[in-house]
Amino acid sequence: MIGTLIRRETLDNLMTFRFAAAVFIMLLLVVANTFVLITDYERRLASHNEAVKMHQRQLQEKITYSAGAVRVDRPPNPLSIFNVGFDKRLGNEVRISHGSVPSLWDANMHESANPFMDMFASMDIVFIFEVILSLLALIFAYNAFAGEYESGTLRLVLTHAIGRGEILVAKYISAMLCLIVPLLMSLLLATILLTTSASISLNNNDFLRIGGIIFTSIAYLSVFYLIGLLISAATRRTSTALMSSMFIWGFLVLVYPNVILTVTPRPEAPDALRTSAFNQIESIWDTFDRERKHYLATDDFPGEDWGYELKGWGSRGAYFLDNARTLSYTYRSTMDFEGFGEEDEPKMPHAQKHFGFLGAQTIDAADRTWLIRKPTLEEIFIQPANMERIWLKLSPVGLYDAATQAWAGTDLLGIRDFFHDARQYRQSVISYFYDNKVFESRQWFSGDKGAADWSGLPQFSFQRDDININAKRAIPDVCLLLMINVVLFIIIFLIFVKSEV
């Protein structure tokens, strides 16, 4: 019996104009946007490759170690086509230096990026689904019960020996079948377009991630279909159901995500926290500075000049660099000489010894700074943002967005993985420097006896996380979506069972 019901409902839905419109609009939007998004991704990838090459070249051109700036670049994520998340927004190059531990707040944007273009909203496939799927689900649902109440066919169906639960299940299954068709068709086309693009190579894990996105999309679709069913069962009139659905859609999709954060108080970490952390960091570097001066005053070489009065051809500079907002503090000393006169030769061993001492001290100070900086940054920047994210998750749209970001790896955690890798890379660069006695070498500050050899430096490569980690991050939100589904279903069942026909 339930089979007959499902077949009837499915046929009813398939023959309607709205089904044709749904298929047409989904295919049109998704295909058109995938094309645009792929070109956009290719452009970003090209700009990334340019930047990598440029940083390589800039490094190779430096003849001394102290003048070279090792920079690593964050490649664009191919799955940002599905949900762009933070992929375009946050900084995509960061400097690896022994004097500071790199973090998200030290990152820069590539030079080629136009900062004005940020004022235009960027878009992705999940955004299309967010808007269109919810709208279509409501359009399919508004007259499911209300229409049958009005036309009296529900009474006719109930005269048969059939449970109300079965009718509900049949309606749900058939409508979901019809809604999933355009969803899967458009996603399939999008994936085909992705695989045919030469610049995008997807591995098995990526396909699993796309699978996760598809599953989350179906859960999201189902939530909105059930919301529509609930309205339809509760209002009993098609025109009222339609108007209520449309306004609820407008509220959930258009209004709530944009308004809620301005209405709720902005969670701010107290300024005192930042100030006290910054003071601690300052004192670390004050101690560092004292020790540095102490060394210069007490070593074998007379005078306190950190450059050991070397008079060569080139430039030198030493300065502290701090930013109270992001709590960064570092000491940079660069000495970039091409050659020296005869009289400088006896000073060399002293200078080399000094730079060896300075390198170790700087690394130590930077590591201690990071110990204070890391928890404070977490508290100042990450925790308020997470609070805001929880507010957004009160709407299914927010849940869907968060879950798909986690699948795609463009969420905050996914981006922070890169900086985690960058920190590890800094460690390996430092151990390379130690192993090869780079700080004590003459090449640290002078290129006259052979230039700095950058070829032995460990290579940086950023591997996105395993699919398991993506899943672990996405599952809570997906589960919440599924739970909303179950709760809505039970409510509809109760209303429908108790309703008089």
Partner 1 sequence: MIWHIAKRELYDNLSSLRFALATVLLLGLMLTNAVVHLREHPERVQRYRDRVSQYQNHIASHAANSLYDLAQEGPGNLHKKPSDLRFCAEGGEAFMSDRAWAGHHRWSTDTLKSFWILTYPSATPNRDNVRPDVTKVDWGFVIGYVLSLIALLFTFDSISGEREHGTLRLTLANSIPRHTVLIGKFLGALISVNIPFILAVLVNLLVISTSSDVHLGAEAWGRLGIIFLIAVLYTCLFLALGLLVSARVQRSAVSLVILLLVWVVFVVFMPSTLVSIAGKSTPSGPTFDFSERSWKIHGELRDEYSPRRHKEAEGSIKRIQIDGAYVTKDAEQQERLHEERLNQRIAEVHQARTITRISPVTIVQNLIESFAGTGFERHLQFLENVRAYVREFRTFIVDTDSADPESLHIFGVRTGMSQEPVNREAIPKFEDTLNLSKDFNTATMELLLLMLFVLVLLSGAYLAFVRVEV
Distance CA 99, CA 83 (A): 35
Residue closer to partner 1 (CB basis): 381 or 493: 381
- Name the minimum Å distance from CB 54 to partner 1: 5
Shortest distance in whole angstroms from residue 432 CB to partner 1: 26
Judged by beta carbon, residue 216 or residue 410, the one nearer partner 1 is 410
CA–CA gap between residue 73 and residue 55 (Å, rounded) = 9
When the beta carbons of 63 and 430 are compared against partner 1, the nearer one is 63
Q: Does 79 bind partner 1 (CB under 8 A)?
A: no
- In whole angstroms, what separates CA 429 from the centre of its chain? 26
Binding test (CB under 8 A) with partner 1, winner from 70, 72, 101, 139: 139
When asked if residue 132 is in the footprint of partner 1 (CB under 8 A), the reply is yes
Using CB under 8 A as the binding rule, the residues of this chain from 307 to 326 that contact partner 1 are 326
Of 45-53, 451-459, 462-470, 472-480: span binding partner 1 (CB under 8 A): 45-53
Comparing C-alpha atoms, which of 100, 51, 56 is closest to residue 74?
Answer: 51
Return the residue of 43, 160, 293, 449 that touches partner 1, per CB under 8 A: 43
Farthest-apart Cα atoms in the chain, separation:
110
Give the residue carrying structure tokens 């200078």: 351
Given the complex with partner 1, which of 263 and 272 has the nearer CB atom?
Answer: 263
Distance CA 270, CA 319 (A): 30
What is the rounded distance in angstroms from the CA atom of residue 274 to the CA atom of residue 257? 29
Asked if 314 contacts 344 with a C-beta cutoff of 8 angstroms, the reply is no
Min CB(436)–partner 1 separation in Å: 28
Q: Closer CB to partner 1, residue 10 or residue 326?
A: 326
Q: What is the DSSP letter of 442?
A: G
Pick between residue 50 and residue 289 the one whose CB is nearest to partner 1: 50
To the nearest 10 degrees (0 to 180), the angle between helices 238-249 and 125-141 is: 160
* Closest distance to partner 1 from the beta carbon of 277 (Å): 17
Question: How many CA atoms lie within 13 Å of 314's alpha carbon, on the beta-carbon side?
Answer: 23
263 close to 388: Cβ distance less than 8 angstroms: no
What is the distance between the alpha carbons of residues 100 and 370, in angstroms, rounded to a whole number?
Answer: 8
Closer by beta carbon to partner 1, 116 or else 319: 116
Of 1, 11, 14, 21, the one binding partner 1 (CB under 8 A) is 21
- Provide the 3-class DSSP secondary structure of residue 73: strand
The two three-digit tokens of residue 151, written as one number = 């036309």
Cβ closest to partner 1, residue 119 vs residue 272: 119
Q: How many residues touch partner 1 (CB under 8 A)?
A: 73
Q: Which of 1, 14, 69, 255 binds partner 1 (CB under 8 A)?
A: 255
Q: What is the CA radius of gyration of the chain?
A: 31
Residues 370-399 that bind partner 1 (CB under 8 A): 381-382, 384-385, 388-389, 392
Q: Which is nearer to partner 1, 58 or 276 (CB)?
A: 58
| Distance in Å, CB of 159 to partner 1, minimum | 27
3 state DSSP class of 463? coil
Nearer to partner 1, 233 or 242 (CB): 242
3-state secondary structure 289-313: HHHHHHHHHHCCCCCCCCCCCCCEE
Q: How far is the CB of 380 from partner 1 (least distance, A)?
A: 10
User: b/e per residue, 449-464, with b = 16+ CB within 10 A?
Assistant: eebbeeeebeebeeeb
Q: In whole angstroms, how close is the CB of 176 to partner 1 at the nearest point?
A: 19
124-132, 175-183, 294-302, 454-462 -> range binding partner 1 (CB under 8 A): 124-132
Query: Which of residues 139 and 474 has its CB atom nearest to partner 1 in the complex?
Result: 139
Site for partner 1 in 185-244 (CB under 8 A): 240, 242-244
What DSSP element (H or E) covers 179?
Answer: helix 164-196
Closest CA to 100 of 360, 426, 460: 426
CB 430 to partner 1: min, Å: 24
Contact 274, 384 (CB under 8 A): no
Q: Give the shortest CB-364-to-partner 1 separation in angstroms.
A: 26
Kindly identify the residues of this chain, within the stretch 104-123, that bind partner 1 according to CB under 8 A.
104-105, 107-109, 111-112, 114-123
Out of 135, 194, 397, 481, name the contact with partner 1 by CB under 8 A.
135
Give phi and psi for 176, each to the nearest 5.
-65, -40
Near partner 1 in 416-455, by CB under 8 A:
none
